[in-house]
Chain A
Amino acid sequence: QERGGTMNIIVQPEPPILVLGLNQQGPTQTVAGKIYQGLLTYDFNLKPQPELAESWEVSPDGKVYTFKLVKNAKWHDGKPFTAADVVFSTSKMLMETHPRARAVFAKAEKIEALDDYTVRFTLKEPFGPFLQSFEVSSAPMMPKHIYDGSDYKANPANATPIGTGPFKFKEWVKGSYIHLVRNDDYWKAGKPYLDDIYFRVIPDAASRAVAVEQGTVQQTQFNDIETFDVPRLKSLPNVEMTTKGYEFFAPLSWIEINTRNKPLDDKRFRQAMMHAIDRKFIRDKIWFGLGRPATGPVNSVTRFYEPGVKKYDFDPKKAEALLEEAGYKKGSDGTRAKVKLLVMPYGETWTRLGEYVKQAMKRVGVDVTLETTDSAGWVNRVSNWDYDMTFNFVYQYGDPALGVSRTYVSDNIRKGVMFSNTMGYTNPEVDRLFAQAAQTNKDEERQQLYSAAQKILVEDVPVAWLLEMEFPTFVDKRFKNAITTAIGVNESYDSVYMVKK
Chain B
Amino acid sequence: MPRIAVFISQRLVKAVFVVLAIAVFNFFLVHAAPGDPAAVMAGEAGAADAKFVEQLRQQFGLDRPLYEQLGTYMGKVVQADLGYSYRQQRPVFDLLMDRLPVTLSLTLTSFVLALIGGVALGTLAAMRAGTWSDTAITVVGLTAYATPIFWIGLMLILLFSVNLGWLPAFGTESIGAGYTGWAAFVDRLEHLVLPVVTLGLFYMAVYTRLTRASILEVRDMDFVKTARAKGLPEWRIVSVHILRNAILPVITVAGFQAGHLIGGSILIETVFALPGIGRLAFEAVLQRDYQVLLGIFLLTSVVVVIFNLLTDLIYSLVDPRIEVAP
Question: Do chains A and B directly touch (beta carbons under 8 Å) in the complex?
Answer: yes
A417 B49 Cβ-Cβ under 8 A: yes
Considering only residues 373-427 of chain A, those with a C-beta below 8 Å from chain B are: 373-381, 383, 394-395, 406, 414, 416-419
**In which size bucket is the chain B interface?**
35 or more
Residues of B within 8 A of A200 (CB): 171, 175
A216-B187 Cα distance, complex, nearest whole Å: 14
Chain B: minimal CB distance from A160 (Å): 12
Hey, what's the 0/1 contact readout for B174-209 against A, CB within 8 Å counting as 1?
111000000000000000000000000000000000
Residues of A within 8 A of B221 (CB): none
Please tell me which stretch of A62-70, A174-182, A428-436 contacts chain B, meaning at least 4 of its Cβ atoms lie within 8 angstroms of it: A174-182
Asked whether B314 is an interface residue with its Cβ less than 8 Å from the other chain, the reply is no
A25 nearest in chain B by CB position: B44
SS class, residues of chain A in contact with chain B: mixed
Chain A: minimal CB distance from B180 (Å): 16
Considering only residues 165-222 of chain A, those with a C-beta below 8 Å from chain B are: 173-177, 196, 198, 200-204, 206-207, 210-211, 213-214, 216
Asked whether B47 is an interface residue with its Cβ less than 8 Å from the other chain, the reply is yes
Check A207/B170 contact, CB under 8 A, given A375-B40, A418-B48: yes
A158 B89 Cβ-Cβ under 8 A: yes
B162 nearest in chain A by CB position: A210
Asked whether A99 is an interface residue with its Cβ less than 8 Å from the other chain, the reply is yes
Hey, what's the 0/1 contact readout for A1-43 against B, CB within 8 Å counting as 1?
0000010100001001100000111100000000000000000
A377 B35 Cβ-Cβ under 8 A: yes
A308-B108 Cα distance, complex, nearest whole Å: 65
Asked whether A102 is an interface residue with its Cβ less than 8 Å from the other chain, the reply is yes
B34 A196 Cβ-Cβ under 8 A: no
B161 A375 Cβ-Cβ under 8 A: no
Considering only residues 29-60 of chain B, those with a C-beta below 8 Å from chain A are: 33-37, 39-53, 55, 59
Residues of B within 8 A of A416 (CB): 50, 53
B52 nearest in chain A by CB position: A99
Residues of A within 8 A of B74 (CB): none
Asked whether B127 is an interface residue with its Cβ less than 8 Å from the other chain, the reply is no
Residue of B50, B162, B174, B286 touching A376 (CB-CB under 8 A): B286
Residues of B within 8 A of A153 (CB): 59, 86, 89
Most buried by B among A17, A414, A418: A418
B174 nearest in chain A by CB position: A216
B98 A174 Cβ-Cβ under 8 A: yes
Asked whether A236 is an interface residue with its Cβ less than 8 Å from the other chain, the reply is no
A373-B279 Cα distance, complex, nearest whole Å: 18
**In which size bucket is the chain A interface?**
35 or more
B49 A376 Cβ-Cβ under 8 A: no
Check A379/B39 contact, CB under 8 A, given A99-B48, A99-B49: yes
A99-B46 Cα distance, complex, nearest whole Å: 10
A379 B275 Cβ-Cβ under 8 A: no
Residues of A within 8 A of B99 (CB): 174-175
A137 nearest in chain B by CB position: B46
A97-B285 Cα distance, complex, nearest whole Å: 25
Asked whether A336 is an interface residue with its Cβ less than 8 Å from the other chain, the reply is no
Check A376/B288 contact, CB under 8 A, given A8-B176, A383-B39: yes
A210 B89 Cβ-Cβ under 8 A: no
Check A418/B42 contact, CB under 8 A, given A99-B48, A174-B88, A377-B33: yes
Considering only residues 292-320 of chain B, those with a C-beta below 8 Å from chain A are: none
Residues of A within 8 A of B49 (CB): 99, 102-103, 414, 417
Chain B: minimal CB distance from A414 (Å): 6
Please tell me which stretch of B20-28, B109-117, B251-259, B265-273 contacts chain A, meaning at least 4 of its Cβ atoms lie within 8 angstroms of it: B265-273
A202 B171 Cβ-Cβ under 8 A: yes
B175 A177 Cβ-Cβ under 8 A: yes
Chain A: minimal CB distance from B225 (Å): 54
Asked whether B154 is an interface residue with its Cβ less than 8 Å from the other chain, the reply is yes
A176 B37 Cβ-Cβ under 8 A: no
Chain A: minimal CB distance from B155 (Å): 12
A158-B85 Cα distance, complex, nearest whole Å: 14
B287 A198 Cβ-Cβ under 8 A: no
A177-B176 Cα distance, complex, nearest whole Å: 10
A134-B105 Cα distance, complex, nearest whole Å: 46
B272 A207 Cβ-Cβ under 8 A: yes
A417 B50 Cβ-Cβ under 8 A: yes
A8-B176 Cα distance, complex, nearest whole Å: 9
Asked whether B87 is an interface residue with its Cβ less than 8 Å from the other chain, the reply is yes
Asked whether A100 is an interface residue with its Cβ less than 8 Å from the other chain, the reply is yes
A200-B174 Cα distance, complex, nearest whole Å: 11
Most buried by B among A204, A373, A383, A416: A204
Asked whether A326 is an interface residue with its Cβ less than 8 Å from the other chain, the reply is no
Residues of B within 8 A of A177 (CB): 175
B176 A414 Cβ-Cβ under 8 A: no
Considering only residues 56-95 of chain B, those with a C-beta below 8 Å from chain A are: 59, 86-90, 95
B161 A210 Cβ-Cβ under 8 A: yes
Considering only residues 352-387 of chain A, those with a C-beta below 8 Å from chain B are: 373-381, 383
A308-B43 Cα distance, complex, nearest whole Å: 33
A17 B89 Cβ-Cβ under 8 A: yes
B286 nearest in chain A by CB position: A374
Residues of A within 8 A of B276 (CB): 175
Check A207/B273 contact, CB under 8 A, given A8-B175, A376-B40, A379-B42: yes
Chain B: minimal CB distance from A41 (Å): 19
A8-B174 Cα distance, complex, nearest whole Å: 11
Asked whether A159 is an interface residue with its Cβ less than 8 Å from the other chain, the reply is yes
Check A375/B283 contact, CB under 8 A, given A17-B89, A173-B98, A202-B171: no
A210-B169 Cα distance, complex, nearest whole Å: 8
A174 B275 Cβ-Cβ under 8 A: yes
Residues of A within 8 A of B44 (CB): 25-26, 375
Residues of A within 8 A of B170 (CB): 202, 204, 207, 210-211
Known A-B contacts: A378-B35, A416-B53. Give 5 more (CB < 8 A): A174-B275, A207-B272, A210-B161, A380-B35, A414-B50
User: Would you give 5 A-B contacts (Cβ < 8 Å), ordered by A?
Assistant: A16-B87, A176-B175, A202-B171, A204-B270, A418-B42
A→B interface (CB under 8 Å): 6, 8, 13, 16-17, 23-26, 96-97, 99-100, 102-103, 153, 158-159, 173-177, 196, 198, 200-204, 206-207, 210-211, 213-214, 216, 345, 373-381, 383, 394-395, 406, 414, 416-419
